[in-house]
Amino acid sequence: MIKILFVCHGNICRSPMAEYVFKDIVIKNGEGNDFEISSCATSQEEIGNPIYPPIKKILENQGIACDDKRARQFQIDDYAYYDMIIVMDEYNKHNLLRMCQQDPQNKVSLLLDHSDRKGQPISDPWYTRKFDQCYEDILYGCESLYKKVKLQ
């Protein structure tokens, strides 16, 4: 089983969107039992809150249910537990590496590093208000990540 954790600042926009998009991809490919997928935040700001309504609406429009998700913060045990820890931007990566005392097993990467758009962030729609663009970028990143994982 491959265990993947998606991480962003608050765990109400980008990382839960990536979590549910990636779950949808693996389920549609008949591999739902081969993966464990979750998401979390580097901050404490949104702990316990549901997915941000515009993000939830986009997921629902794609036929993806996410009603049960509540924001949680990254815990140090997550580093040992997950095989891959996928962050949305360099700010998230910096905060995560501070929390887990660097990345000795090289588990942490940007989502788009698994595509031909290496080094590019997933912009935070909380600030940009570009929710549809966020979805398109995350879908592209998740599809690329899935292809990469399947080739390993």
Q: Give residue-wise pLDDT tens across range 60-109.
A: 999 999 989 999 999 999 999 999 999 999 999 999 999 988 899 999 99
Determine which one of 89, 124, 134, 142 is catalytic. 124
Active site residue 14: yes
pTM equals 0.96
Q: Which fold has domain 2-151?
A: Rossmann fold (3.40.50)
Q: Where are the domains of the chain?
A: 2-151
The whole-number average pLDDT for the span 36-49 is 97
Rounded Cα distance, 76 and 27, in Å: 28
Q: DSSP character for 25?
A: H
Spatial separation of the C-alpha atoms in residues 141 and 151, rounded to whole Å: 15
Active site residue 124: yes
100 alpha carbon, distance to own chain's centre: 17
User: What pLDDT score does 98 carry?
Assistant: 93
pLDDT reading at 151 higher than 80: no
- Concerning whether 142 is annotated as a catalytic residue, the answer is no
- In this prediction, residue 80 carries a pLDDT of 95
Q: Which residue in the list 14, 24, 40, 134 is annotated as catalytic? A: 14
CA 140, 141, 146, 148 dihedral sign is: positive
